[in-house]
Structure 1
Amino acid sequence: MFKTRDFYLKKVYNVDGKKIGTIEDLYIDFYLGKILGFKISNHVLFSKKDYVAMEDVIDIGEDVIINDIKKDNGLEFKEIKDMEVIDTLGSVKGVLEDLIIDKQDYSIKGIVISSGLIDKMIKGKEIILLNRCILGEKYILYTGNEGVLFKSMPHNIESYHGSKKA
């Protein structure tokens, strides 16, 4: 699984090996739950072309190789990042922090929400399924079951290091 931060600042090249730019943001379709393409920070001055559709992406590895760059627009992830997520009772669950993206078909499987710095350290981040969310103008409505929770917890660093003996 990918997160959105795995794509940011990746270099983008065309099939001829010419550097086009770097990935600035992701265009998403929240309703269908998929990545539509990437917003590219273009190195060509005054160029209006800044959109790469997923159909034009040949390979995503350390760098991204594409067929074509276009002029297009859509819903950018940065537009909904930090948007409040509320449940059906009206209580705030947290804010949208990241997306969980499938490596095979680049579909969005879930969203990562956190309820603040202190809660993030104590309780971790909460992961909720995208198909239980409705995107509104001011917030995201979560209609899922409160009995099933996924969490992303900070790791205990000490358990990964062996104890040193004199």
Structure 2
Amino acid sequence: MYRITELIGLPVLSLDDGKQIGEVQDLVVDISKATICGLLVSAEAWFSECRSIIFGDIFRTGTDAIMLRDASCLQPIALLDLEGCFRVQELAGKTIYTETGLYLGMLADIFFQPQTGELTGYELSDGIVSDFLFGRKAMPLPQAQIVHSNRLLVPEAMSQLLHSE
């Protein structure tokens, strides 16, 4: 399983000339559609603005780099400011509760399929000590959820689907 945070910091390379276009700063995900919308890429030159890449324009998502056919895939960031989409760094660290008030943990990472960009599950943390002693927990992506400024609310059934990694 791939984790979304593993993509942050990867170089973005162009296949047509081999140049590094930038570096992945963040990702934008659509929780309701369970997909990655795109990537936010830092500019190579100082004082240049950040750009975005729509996930469908990515040629390959590798373990060490993101590959594009050419630099024409770069778009203004505004194209990824869609309703219902969230930046991964905004979601990280949110607490997750069930509808009945049961605390499940903090969102540490999101699992995804690199070929399709489909979100498949959450990795949950109970804190550094608990993670070290017992490991983190994983759960499939909930069908319905509410995203609040500092928490996620998921159906009660998700508490039964938690498992250790």
- TM-score normalised by L of structure 2: 0.82
1:149 Cα deviation after fit:
2.5
Selected match of 1:115 from 109, 122, 126: 126
Query: 1:149 corresponds to which residue?
Result: 162
Give the letter aligned to residue 77 of structure 1: V
- Specify the SS of the correspondent of 2:116: coil
What is the alpha-carbon distance in structure 1 between the residues aligned to residue 66 and residue 161 of structure 2? Answer: 36
Size of the aligned set, in residue pairs, is 152
**Residues 1:48 and 2:49 aligned together:** yes
- Specify the SS of the correspondent of 1:79: helix
1:92 Cα deviation after fit:
2.0
- Specify the SS of the correspondent of 2:26: strand
1:115 Cα deviation after fit:
1.4
Q: Is contact 2:34-2:118 (8 Å) kept?
A: yes
Query: 2:140 corresponds to which residue?
Result: 129
- Specify the SS of the correspondent of 2:49: coil
What is the alpha-carbon distance in structure 1 between the residues aligned to residue 60 and residue 128 of structure 2? Answer: 36
Residue segments in structure 1 that go unaligned for 5+ positions in a row = 153-166
Query: 2:98 corresponds to which residue?
Result: 87
Moved more, 56-65 or 131-140: 131-140
Give the letter aligned to residue 163 of structure 2: F
Residue segments in structure 2 that go unaligned for 5+ positions in a row = none
What is the alpha-carbon distance in structure 2 between the residues aligned to residue 37 and residue 137 of structure 1? Answer: 22
**Which structure is larger by alpha-carbon Rg, 1 or 2?**
1
Give the letter aligned to residue 100 of structure 2: L
Query: 1:11 corresponds to which residue?
Result: 11
Cα distance, 1:147–1:123 mapped onto 2, change above 3 Å: same
What is the alpha-carbon distance in structure 1 between the residues aligned to residue 119 and residue 145 of structure 2? Answer: 14
Q: Is contact 1:132-1:144 (8 Å) kept?
A: no
- TM-score normalised by L of structure 1: 0.82
- Specify the SS of the correspondent of 2:164: strand
Render the CA deviation track for 1:61-114: whole Å, top value 9, x for unaligned. 232222310112332100111011011221322110001111331211001111
1:56 Cα deviation after fit:
1.5
Q: Is contact 2:93-2:106 (8 Å) kept?
A: yes
1:132 Cα deviation after fit:
4.0
Cα distance, 1:123–1:88 mapped onto 2, change above 3 Å: farther
